[in-house]
């Protein structure tokens, strides 16, 4: 169990929105990136010494697989934004952590500013943040290995309970589970997919329903990113980039949940 000072530190880091990552989830995901970790200095800049991340990397260190693991727990209550933490960030080879969701924009801004390879947990909706979306769109960052369905279960602070959170892994480290081209079996017929009232595109409610024979613009759920193969599809933008009113898409008079607008690459046959 964490001592009181560690608990207070985590509360300051999280602004009460942190849930503790389970060791099994860290191990399952991180094991896919071991070649990236080899002989590297890992920085867990949103963690105390008893976190699942630090325990995992201390285990790798004991096996001689990484040089060392740093964490913010030794900085006297400071978080990832303090000068001491930023100095460690500059020196680290990789960042691996679960940042507080309420501070995710600030966290990623620092990681990207110093051009660090990273593997982090975030809320699914974070992929629609403009700065992150542009990097996903240009295939510079992508989802991790764990599937999105069902989210992730985290330990609730100061309890033995877990809670399901709509969270995913996000990274710029290559891995063997990146999506292959989808096999598209649905076909397009006039009227089979509704058109947006406020955009020149058709609406697709499920990635599995993308038609194989439609070359126009389509609005798909943000969960499409999990299946996104850059060789097969082109991401054009967020819904607000295409709608005439700059808002979410409207179908038959009703606004629908966030969409990503895509188009098949014309040189693909799937």
**pLDDT (tens digit per residue) in 43-72:** 999 999 999 999 999 999 999 999 999 999
What 8-state DSSP symbol labels residue 147?
A: -
What is the pLDDT confidence band of residue 77, given thresholds at 50, 70 and 90?
low
| Token duo for residue 261 | 């607008």
pLDDT digits (tens, 9 = 90+) for 161-219: 898 999 999 999 999 999 999 999 999 987 889 999 999 999 999 999 999 999 999 99
- Does residue 18 surpass a pLDDT of 90? no
Question: What is the pLDDT at residue 74?
Answer: 75
pLDDT digits (tens, 9 = 90+) for 91-132: 999 999 999 999 999 999 999 999 999 999 999 989 989 999
Centre a 10 Å sphere on the Cβ of residue 23 and count the other Cβ atoms it contains: 15
Give the whole-angstrom CA distance, residue 159 versus residue 98. 19
Question: What is the pLDDT at residue 12?
Answer: 45
For 101-105, the CB contacts below 8 A with 24+ separation are 101/17, 101/18, 101/126, 102/14, 102/15, 102/17, 103/15, 104/129, 105/129, 105/131
- Does residue 270 surpass a pLDDT of 80? no
How buried is residue 118: exposed, middle or buried, by Cβ count under 10 Å (0-12/13-18/19+)?
buried
Question: What is the pLDDT at residue 268?
Answer: 58
What is the pLDDT confidence band of residue 84, given thresholds at 50, 70 and 90?
very high
CATH number assigned to the domain with residue range 4-171, chosen from the 4 options 1.10.10, 3.30.450, 2.130.10, 3.40.50: 3.40.50
Give the whole-angstrom CA distance, residue 175 versus residue 73. 29
Beta-bridge partners for 163: 154
pLDDT digits (tens, 9 = 90+) for 229-242: 999 999 999 999 99
Closest CA to 34 of 130, 176, 134: 176
């Amino acid at each position: 169990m964490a001592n009181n000072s560690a608990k207070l530190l985590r509360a300051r880091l999280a602004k009460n929105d942190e849930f503790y990552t389970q060791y099994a989830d860290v191990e399952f995901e991180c094991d896919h990136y071991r070649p990236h970790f080899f002989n590297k200095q890992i920085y867990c800049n949103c963690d105390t010494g008893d976190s699942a991340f630090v325990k995992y990397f201390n285990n790798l260190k004991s096996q001689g697989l990484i040089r060392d693991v740093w964490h913010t727990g030794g900085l006297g209550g400071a978080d990832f934004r303090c000068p001491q933490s930023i100095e460690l960030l500059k020196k680290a080879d990789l960042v691996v952590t679960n940042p507080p969701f309420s501070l995710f924009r600030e966290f990623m801004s620092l990681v990207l500013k110093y051009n660090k390879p990273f593997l982090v947990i975030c809320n699914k909706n974070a992929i629609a943040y403009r700065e992150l979306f542009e990097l996903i769109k240009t295939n510079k960052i992508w989802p991790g290995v764990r599937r999105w369905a069902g989210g992730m279960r985290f330990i609730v602070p100061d309890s033995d309970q877990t809670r399901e959170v709509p969270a995913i892994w996000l990274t710029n480290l290559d891995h063997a589970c990146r999506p292959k081209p989808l096999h598209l079996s649905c076909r397009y017929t006039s009227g089979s997919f509704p058109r947006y009232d406020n955009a020149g595109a058709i609406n697709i409610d499920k990635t599995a329903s993308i038609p194989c024979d439609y070359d126009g613009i389509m609005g798909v759920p943000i969960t499409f990113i999990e299946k996104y193969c850059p060789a097969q599809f082109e991401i054009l933008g967020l819904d607000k980039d295409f709608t005439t009113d700059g808002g979410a898409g409207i179908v038959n008079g009703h606004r629908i949940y966030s969409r990503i607008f895509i188009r098949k690459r014309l040189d693909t046959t799937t």
